[in-house]
Amino acid sequence: MEKFSLEAIAREQLERARSVSARRSATTVYGGHEHRLRQTVIALVEGASLGEHENSDEATLQVLRGRVRLHAAPTVWEGRTGDLIVVPPVRHSLEAVEDSVVLLTVAK
């Protein structure tokens, strides 16, 4: 059994995001290529974004802190700390409205 402190990981990733030019940072906390489930903590400094990309697998975003917007034209979802957003299986992007950390869960 493994146990992780998402709060500690979120804090570390946000500190890292603030110190790099990309203004974002991520680490996989569970899963990877050898698993069907993958969970990744992603930190974004206010104004930073993940550009438009495809998503063919089932995925959710849990907002651990801050406020984000998920864009999937023509719809925009806003998530705040504690919210869970189901990521649509279409092209989409994510932007940080304020310094934010999310937990991305993908089931392949």
The yes-or-no verdict on residue 53 having pLDDT over 90 is: no
User: In this structure, is residue 1 part of a structural domain?
Assistant: no
Domain that residue 58 falls in? 6-107
User: In this structure, is residue 43 part of a structural domain?
Assistant: yes
Q: How many structural domains does the chain have?
A: 1
Q: Is 72 helix (H, G, I), strand (E, B) or coil?
A: strand
Q: How far apart are CA 33 and CA 49, in angstroms?
A: 24
DSSP H stretches of helix in 1-67:
6-19
Q: How far apart are CA 32 and CA 30, in angstroms?
A: 7
Q: What is the pLDDT of residue 76?
A: 95
Quote the tokens at residue 101: 């950390």
Quote the tokens at residue 28: 């996989």
- The pTM of this model reads 0.94
Q: What is the CATH number of the domain that holds 20?
A: 2.60.120.10
Q: For residue range 12-32, what is the model confidence (pLDDT) as tens digits?
A: 999 999 999 999 999 999 997
Q: For residue range 59-84, what is the model confidence (pLDDT) as tens digits?
A: 999 999 999 999 998 899 999 999 99
Quote the tokens at residue 18: 């603030």
Q: What is the pLDDT of residue 37?
A: 92
